[in-house]
Structure 1
């Protein structure tokens, strides 16, 4: 079943952020745009490249009022250890949620039950807690923070401009479409 246009489910997890352990809940993330960035495990291979890519663009997400939450089934303690030992992960300033019970991972329907690991799933969530976009890739396929930023901008644009939609490859400032009877068959 698709999770698009559904509300995020209740959760309460411990996380590591900027040298501290914090609690993150579904209620705490509401009121602003969020990205939940699930990945299989700390101390692996593709995962640090993705998390580092998002870290490099984090200031741009922040300017858009977007908070990033990376999530794996590791603990918040493991996130701290990885942060302390990896130059790539050390540059992360966003929240790293631990999900050792798998509840949050199952809430977003990205748990690989046989392994107890998350798929590579990215979810853009609006301020009301509704999932607006989803991307899921196989374990060996890394994601791109630049394209994620583009998708966030498109989701925010559509939310702010009812009746307009963003076409393929839309970039901020480019033309949008206004679906209507007159447009049918003319694109």
Structure 2
């Protein structure tokens, strides 16, 4: 029988040892302790920013075995998920949309792991913990954004509602230079891009 899991919230990423946090991650620079710490030390997040850190850790036998970047939000800015219509509908129905909990990397619309642990049971505990924190703190709900497909499936199994959005990605198909990229396009598109680039350089 495995030892019980304990959940703890942290008001600053520096309350968690950097080596411990990074050991749980997958090497993604945006969920690294250093990146999240830089956001806090620069005051991009924290008091007065609308992003209040509530980073979540899971412990077993006194050792941190899981973590997630978690924030209490008082607005919907800096998420790149536009839910202002949800907030307005919530208010019209007599509810209070903010605060809400956001498991995300602030100002960074890059997909990556959000539930930092190789153990599926610990990742489930992180999701359950976020829900408990929301209920206890009066948050309207929990949002896990720009997570991996596997995490989205785990969240859906835990009762989270999936949200489908659209992103545009540029892929380097072996281009050695900008001219190589242009050569793969039609004449009309090449001409348009060259004009745009020239205007940008003139104003740069």
TM-score norm. by structure 1 comes to: 0.30
Q: Which has the larger radius of gyration?
A: 2
Q: Larger strand proportion, structure 1 or 2?
A: 1
- 1 or 2, which has the higher helix percentage? 2
**Greater relative contact order: 1 or 2 (C-alpha under 8 angstroms, separation 6 or more)?**
1
TM-score by length of 2: 0.28
